[in-house]
Structure 1
């Protein structure tokens, strides 16, 4: 550093890529060598310049394919399609996602990123550019059902992060490569039905352990069914050309899942033809005593290192060794201890008081209803704000036409319990802004993952129909979920059919009953049109889940919940699992909601709950029609708790 008052020596600029000869030449080197060094330096300089130019040319070709935005990737995908008129709003001057809202038709957004594509019934065709879809890093679901795509199956295994792929009812054809789904370990739902696929079912499907829904029906698959590792909630391979025994992993499914395959046999279908009888030389004689206990020298050779095996072969029976006896005794002892421990735990639980609805939830700060200025403790508040292990405490809105509010506003609102149904309690919450909402609390959804729940709720939130009570917002937590709807003040259909009559109030006029039936049918038809991938689009249709406005226009509630309800709870509580299809075949079908509609029509016309429903209803679905309007609403004849803050009932969520 120059001393103050002195001038710093100017920096000497060193030419680039020039090698200092002084470090490689000796002091005694002849001056005649200098030209050769200068030639070497010039050659090195030329090589470096040419290399940089070459790299520049390569980069110019590679840059366009790197770092594509979601809109660029989707436009590239659109360019590969034929008859893409339905995607007219896919334009580069239009932003794809605005938060969780999509500006492009058929796009599902999450926090500004493309989460899924739902391009159904659009007449699309052409070649699917999977490479462009692979640029969408957050893509989880793709639905191209009911279009005109043909040819071989595209290479979808490039989309390793997919959770759901729907390709039903197109014109895809040809054999599917065995490794077509290799590496798609997160795939849960795959729909290939209604195409023209041939050859064997790809073996890579057998190893997808997370697969829950697989639809292969109405193709031309041949060969045998693979031994799947997944446990299916929905499987169908009917109307193909499959043959051979049905694997044990599929033996408990409904027979209709295999109908139309003349070559299939085994449980749950008819028994397979017995194998040819063994030759007389290999078969045991008919007069042999205890032939099942005798050892066959050919089939069970003696172990030369085990002396007991020789004795067994000589005497015709096996004598257990001391080690075997000790092992069995130890295992038996552990089993007895385990049974005693389980019995002890069950007895303790029986003597414990039931969990209070006011009980706080671990990891979430408590708010006491009596505190005039409720706020979380500072330590807990910082954890929530920083996200240090606690889940984000905020509502997720699925509609833009409603005034938004915070979860804390909802929890501090004056609340009334509208009813306690089979899935949980419904609350009416009057916000300070004047909005009146209904909050329903679910505890039977703790098996569904965060991403799957978010995806399904956003799909439900996009449904818009005159006869559907729209979902406004939801809240996710592992232990429980909250669904927020508009409040319908005129109450449920069940109240008008049963409670009003019991209280001596006028019953429904016939024209209103017919109007309600038509509205319910329209709403149900819309659900089946918009949610074709669901086996039972409603799943829980009953008079408690039909709300009425002042003009007796019906609104369906608690619809499309089967995919997110725990399977064991759904089987015990939901109307769909009381249908004849499930009682006789152990399977819910698309006819299930039609049966439920028929039962509801009978109830509307007679004013009585059909006796078959009462006989089939077990303890899980015997809620009182006079104290609940499951899913929302309120109105005459319903008992309510005194006003209180919702925070007390939701474990102090803030």
Structure 2
């Protein structure tokens, strides 16, 4: 025996013993989990049952701590998905759980460098897809994880080469790295029993290794790869030419996109309203799902479901291949404009946090939304369903959103929306909202997310309400963090919404349209404070009526201030803090319908209280 290299003989034995007896820090599993909880952020009330006052995490026959999986009275796994978690994943603390074998933090908001997961040498399953990890992973970042069988890391922002240590893990069966920015060659995987390796939509190049040659071709899409199961590799000279063409063309497209987005987001108001959009040139980044189910039934699920019978059909692949323009990056995902093969411009909204109901109920709800037909409601054309991701497809509105017209920076001599146009917009919005109240009468929030960026304008500047009826399917925590209805006084004060909550959103929209001021409290996550746009308008009007409250960029106001004041009063009555005194939508619609572009001879401004009680701060 060669005694000069004892570690080569002892290391596998040490790993085996570690996974059997585990480390011992003298802490209970409850203490370890509570310490781990302190490293997390933004978990709201979802981990309230992780506390020291009650029973331990694996007491009795069933686990009683959210997301904790138990086996034989010990913690076996953690499944903390779709919680909006931030902060750090405290690997060192998790090392104190001797039987921990599965970890899933999918669909959260972790950012920064990839954690040192190889300290957890006993893990069998690790799901970290749909976060925002960035930077490179060390080549030995998975060294020693000889028990790892399933690893999902898709839909992050990781770059650099694929770590070579992944290619040597002896028990690895499933690997998902799609939709990152990995680059260079694919390492030479040594495993003979690999079920799938999904590397789609990265920046990889070169030949596909032999042991991956029988995989689904979709697992390699969106790269510059060749060889089975893709086309045969060409000569190096042709390859270099192709690469040069791709790089030059891609650079020009990216530069044009950056210039366009920079122009749109130059104004800080707009920049704060929309999150920084994802980088993309093709709409292909809306394809594969992150779960194992995708790989079992890809042919069945890779299709669009159309909800309007008389619309010309197109395939999901038409969208994936289409040139795409980033329109915005909202709280729920990115929005793209794509021109399909028939030349029609479509808008695709990608939602990650939409798992509040199962597939059957989701399909039924989308079909119901697809049956809606009103000139002021943006029609849903089709949808794409995956468990972890949904796409909603609708028509493109050529004049953009009301928010862009109200808040984007204008050059010298460029006028904002005039009073007649703003009046037309608010009349259309009120009609569309009333239609939703009628058709979606079973929903407490027929819209739920009514704001200026969800009011689109067609070629004649008629308004189209979008993103309606989604509170039933969006994850509850995500909805309460970001959707406008949950900024209302009744939710901020009493954790409830009512049939008048959408009326409150309409009132805020009216004030925003008249004043040109953005409702800053919409930008806060979770409940809004009392210091909102309605409070400001109320204080100005109550102290002394003055035309200063109206947007200075609003032209066409001559002989119309009386009607503008009436609309201002309507807005205040709609966003009255006291729900009992707040107007019903029917009353608001009737008053809005009576408004004219110009004051009549019999009109008079009157006092502020003539339309009802004042708004309360």
Question: Which structure would you say has the larger Rg?
Answer: 1
What TM-score do the two structures reach when normalised by structure 2?
0.43
What TM-score do the two structures reach when normalised by structure 1?
0.40
Which of the pair has the greater relative contact order for Cα pairs under 8 Å at 6+ separation?
A: 1
